Chain A
Amino acid sequence: MNSATVRNLLVRGMLAGLAAGVLALVVAYLLGEPSVDKAISFEDAHSHEHEMEVVSRSLQSTAGLATGVLVYGVAFGGIAALAYCFALGRVGRFSPRATALLLSGCALLAVYVVPFLKYPANPPSVGDPDTIGKRTTLYFLMMVLSVLLAVAATLLGKRLAPSLGTWWATVVAVAAFAVVIGLAYAFLPVINEVPADFPAALLWRFRLSALAIQSALWGGFGLLFGELAERQLNPKPAKADSGRAVPAAN
């Protein structure tokens, strides 16, 4: 029975991730692609050796982009649904829907925003191909560290709650998270491989669009998965029971 509940939540999580991926894809295509194209023009104008085109630009910016964003949405939807199964009823007095949105907001911060502030997204032509190994390792390290610390902070908050009360336990847990992340920011190596003459406004627009894509993904996921989870876990008793007469619970 419980295993079936987990399975159903998982399936809903992956479907919600796919739908949120579609939303993120629209944002990526409309806001992100213009910056990618401009960055590639910059690259072409500045490099003497021309690389052979394995996949055409028109495919990369449509089908290729869609593949990447949708797979990313499904994968994180599944992982978030598993985290949700764990968080449900354990994080506090939140309804299934509110738990989903809370988890989604925390995931946006822990999975994306915190690593991004140290190692932000870079457009084509920013980044030395020789350091790809180091940059990939550091990026994934920062992501794993941030997620583990967010989980640890949540557990710390839960442990402190009986003695400090929910408010101060939350404040202390968030502060502890911020301090340890600050230390990681300070001690992990700095990476700056932006070419000196790369347009600052273009870099800024590219990074803002990267943030917008993730906000759309996680915001869409939280709302949609929350709705699906709420309906699965708290099915409406009967049609005759008019939900409109009752003030909204949350």
Chain B
Amino acid sequence: MAQHVAQPTATTPVVPAKLPLKAIAPWAVFVGILMLILLYFVGAEQGATSVFSGTDVHEWVHDARHLLGFPCH
């Protein structure tokens, strides 16, 4: 019986069901934008452009910016 249950997954790889675009879109918009804002603060804030004045953000993530490949200064 155990074999009967295991057989389909073992021999015929099941192609995963597609997730409908309608279900993905709201998450993609809200979370996607939020993630891009995070990347902006790690990669570019107080370098080429500044939302906050000063250099605190830049200096704090300085090493990460260099090692992650972003232009730093």
Min CB distance A116 to B, Å, is 6
User: How many A residues touch the partner, as a band?
Assistant: 35 or more
**Assembled-state Cα–Cα distance A122/B40 (Å):** 18
Number of A-B contacts (CB under 8 A): 193
Residues of B contacting A: mostly: helix
* Residues 1-38 of chain B, each 1 if its beta carbon lies under 8 Å from chain A, else 0: 01101110111011111111101101110011011101
* Residues 29-56 of chain B, each 1 if its beta carbon lies under 8 Å from chain A, else 0: 0011011101101111001110000011
User: How many B residues touch the partner, as a band?
Assistant: 35 or more
Contacts of B42 in A (CB 8 A): 67-68, 71-72, 75
Q: Does A223 contact B (CB under 8 A)?
A: no
**Assembled-state Cα–Cα distance A133/B46 (Å):** 11
Contacts of A69 in B (CB 8 A): 64, 67-68
User: Is the pair B68, A210 in contact by a Cβ cutoff of 8 Å?
Assistant: yes
User: Is the pair B5, A136 in contact by a Cβ cutoff of 8 Å?
Assistant: no
User: Is the pair A61, B63 in contact by a Cβ cutoff of 8 Å?
Assistant: yes
- The answer to whether A78 and B71 touch (CB under 8 A), given A5-B19, A71-B41, A249-B9, is no
Contacts of A195 in B (CB 8 A): none
Contacts of B55 in A (CB 8 A): 54
- The answer to whether A60 and B69 touch (CB under 8 A), given A2-B23, A72-B42, is no
User: Is the pair B69, A116 in contact by a Cβ cutoff of 8 Å?
Assistant: yes
Min CB distance A185 to B, Å, is 16
Within 8 Å by CB of B61, from A2, A64, A99, lies A64
Closest 4 CB pairs of A and B: A68-B64, A136-B48, A2-B23, A68-B61
Listed in ascending order, the chain A residues whose CB lies under 8 Å from chain B are 2-3, 5-7, 10, 28, 32-33, 36, 54-55, 59-61, 64-65, 67-69, 71-72, 74-76, 78-79, 82, 85-86, 88-90, 93-96, 99, 112, 115-116, 119-124, 127, 129, 132-133, 135-137, 139-140, 206, 209-210, 213-214, 233-234, 237-238, 240-243, 245-247, 249-250
